[in-house]
Amino acid sequence: MNAAAATGGAGRRFGSRTRAAGKRAILGARRLSRVLIMALYLSPGAACADNVMQGINIELWGPRELGAPEERVARAAKAGLTLVRLGEPWGPWLSGADESRLAAAKSALRRAVSRSLAEGMKTVVTLFAVGGPKGASVGAVVCGDPEIGERYARAVSDIIALLPNRPEVALEPLNEPPTGCSARRYGVSTGADWPRLQMRIYKEMRKEKSELTFVVNAGDWGKEEGLLAFDPSFYVSDPHSVFTYHYYEPMIFTHQGTEFGEPFYRFLRHVPGPAEPARAQMSQSLTKQGMATLTDPEARRRAAQAASAAFGDYSRSGSQAYLDRRFDAAADWAKTHGVAASRIFVGETGVARADHNISQSPPEDAATFLAHVGLAAEKRGFTWAIWELDEGFGVMCGPYAHEYLCPSYAQSLRYQP
C-alpha cells in the first residue's frame, strides 16, 4: 500500500471534501479563519488549514417541537456547517418486539442522512445509550451482558445496513465508551473490553461496506487520555477510518450551571474563558454562595472541596497555553503513529447553557472558548464538531423550529457561503 493511502492523504474520504461542497466549504473555512484570527489577535502567519470543516452535533431524540430530523439538519446547513454528527438513540434498535418503533427510527435516520448528503455535508452516525430497555447501559454492552450485548450487535448491524457505502458517511458504533470494566463500577474486571468489541464491529462492517468510514473511539469515555494511550496500528492502513476524542476542558467552564457531573457545577456562573484572575474570583464567590444552600453538611463539604480544587487549577487549565499543549499532544500522537491530521476528529466540544436550558443565553465567553478550540483544531488540521445544535449546549437561539445562530456564535463561528 502506498503512503498516501496509509495516512489518508488522497481520494474522497471523510476527512476530505466532495467536489460539490468543496468550493463553498473552502471559502467558508477561509472566512472563518480570518474571523477567528482577528478575534484572537493572532499574527498574520498563524493561518488555519483550509481543508478542515466545522461540524455540529444533533441529538435525534430531541423534543418534537424541534422539528423533524431532516429539518434540523437543513437548519444546520443553512448556518453554514459542513459536517453533522447525528446522535442516534439506541432505544428503538434494542427494543426487541416493538417493530413500529424501530421502523420509525429507521425512517427518521434515513431522512436525516439523505438530507445531510443532499446539503453536501459529511455525516457521522453515532449510537448513544439513550432510551434502551431495562438493564441497557454502556457498561452492560462493554462488560459482557449477553442479552444486551446481542441486542447491541443486532442494532449496529441494522444501522450499518441502512447507511450508504460512501466515504463521506461514517459510523461511530458507540458514544463515549469506557476502555474496560472495573470491579468497583461494574462488579467485574475484564480488561480492555471496548477495543476488542470495536474491532469485531469493524471487521463485520468491512464485510458489507468497504468505503463507509469507521470512527475509532479509543475508550476512556471519549477523553483525550484514551486516544493518547491507544495503539491505532490495526486501523492505520484503512484510509476510511478516523480517530475521535472529545474536548470539554476545563469542565468548570464548559459545564457551568449543569445538573450532571460534579455537584457544584450547578452553582457555577460567570466563569471566564480564558481564565482571568479577577473574574474567576468573582465566579468562585458566586459558587460558594450557591453551595451554601446545600442542606447536607457532608455534601456541602465535599462540593466546596471539589470546587476549591477546580478553581485553584483554573489559571492553568483555563489558559491558552494549556489548550495548545492538549492539542499538540493529539497532533504528536497522530504523527508518531503515521495518522494524517485530517483523520483526527474532535467529535464534541461545547459550552452548556445555564441550567442546561436552551432558552437561556449562552455564557458570556462561550463563543470565545469555541473560537479558541476551533482555531486550535484547524491549525493542526483536525476536524471538529460543536456539541450541539439546538438543545442544552446549543448554538441556536429563538423559538423551536425557527432558530437562528446565536449572535455571539454567529460573530465568531459562522461560515458564509
Distance from the Cα of residue 67 to its chain's centroid:
22
Distance from the Cα of residue 124 to its chain's centroid:
10
Measuring CA to CA, which residue among 356, 16, 31, 327 is closest to residue 7?
A: 16
Q: Is 301 helix (H, G, I), strand (E, B) or coil?
A: helix
93, 63: one domain: yes
Q: What is the pLDDT of residues 323-344, one digit of tens each?
A: 999 999 999 999 999 999 999 9
311, 373: one domain: no
127, 210: one domain: yes
322, 305: one domain: no
Flag whether 149 is in a domain.
yes
Flag whether 351 is in a domain.
yes
110, 171: one domain: yes
Q: How many CB atoms lie under 10 A from the CB of residue 114? A: 14
46, 111: one domain: yes
Q: Is 311 helix (H, G, I), strand (E, B) or coil?
A: helix
We report the CATH number of the domain holding residue 131 as 3.20.20.80
Q: Answer yes or no: are the C-beta atoms of 273 and 365 closer than 8 Å.
A: yes
282, 165: one domain: no
Sequence-distant (≥ 6) Cβ neighbours of residue 108 within 8 angstroms:
60, 68, 69
173, 220: one domain: yes
Cell of 180: 474496560
304, 322: one domain: no
CA distance 125 to 164: 11
Q: How many CB atoms lie under 10 A from the CB of residue 238? A: 19
234, 285: one domain: no
380, 401: one domain: yes
Among all chains, which residue has been given the C-alpha cell 461496506? 209
Q: Answer yes or no: are the C-beta atoms of 112 and 60 closer than 8 Å.
A: yes
Instruction: Report the domain count for the chain.
Output: 2
Alpha helices per DSSP H over 237-385: 251-254, 277-291, 297-312, 314-317, 320-336, 366-379
Flag whether 56 is in a domain.
yes
pLDDT in tens, the chain (417 residues): 433 333 333 334 676 544 344 444 433 443 443 333 323 322 222 333 333 348 999 999 988 888 899 999 999 998 889 999 999 999 999 877 688 999 999 999 999 999 999 999 999 999 999 998 887 888 888 876 778 888 899 999 999 999 999 999 999 999 999 877 665 555 544 556 888 899 999 999 999 999 999 999 999 999 999 999 999 999 999 999 999 999 999 999 999 999 888 999 999 999 999 999 999 999 999 999 999 999 999 999 999 999 999 999 999 999 999 999 999 999 999 999 999 999 999 999 999 997 777 777 899 899 999 999 999 999 999 999 999 999 999 999 888 777 888 888 888 775 333
223, 277: one domain: no
386 φ, ψ (degrees, to nearest 5): -80, 140
Flag whether 298 is in a domain.
yes
Flag whether 254 is in a domain.
no
CA distance 175 to 232: 18
Measuring CA to CA, which residue among 78, 57, 180 is closest to residue 125?
A: 57
Residue 201 DSSP code: H
SS3 content of the chain, % helix, strand, coil (to 5): 50, 10, 40
Among all chains, which residue has been given the C-alpha cell 476542558? 249
75, 265, 386 from 70: Cα distances, Å: 9, 33, 18
Flag whether 262 is in a domain.
no
**Domain stop point among 282, 302, 317:** 317
202, 267, 280, 297, 311 from 285: Cα distances, Å: 49, 10, 9, 19, 11
First-residue to last-residue Cα distance in the chain: 37
What pTM, to 2 d.p., does this model score? 0.86
- What angle is formed at CA 96 by the lines to CA 92 and CA 100, rounded to 5 degrees? 55
Q: Treating both helix axes as pointing N-terminal to C-terminal, what angle do 146-162 and 99-118 enclose, rounded to 10 degrees?
A: 40
Q: Is 83 helix (H, G, I), strand (E, B) or coil?
A: strand
Flag whether 257 is in a domain.
no
Flag whether 185 is in a domain.
yes
* Cα Rg of the chain, angstroms: 21
Residue 77 structural domain:
3-249+318-413
Among all chains, which residue has been given the C-alpha cell 446565536? 406
Q: What is the pLDDT of residues 1-27, one digit of tens each?
A: 433 333 333 334 676 544 344 444 433
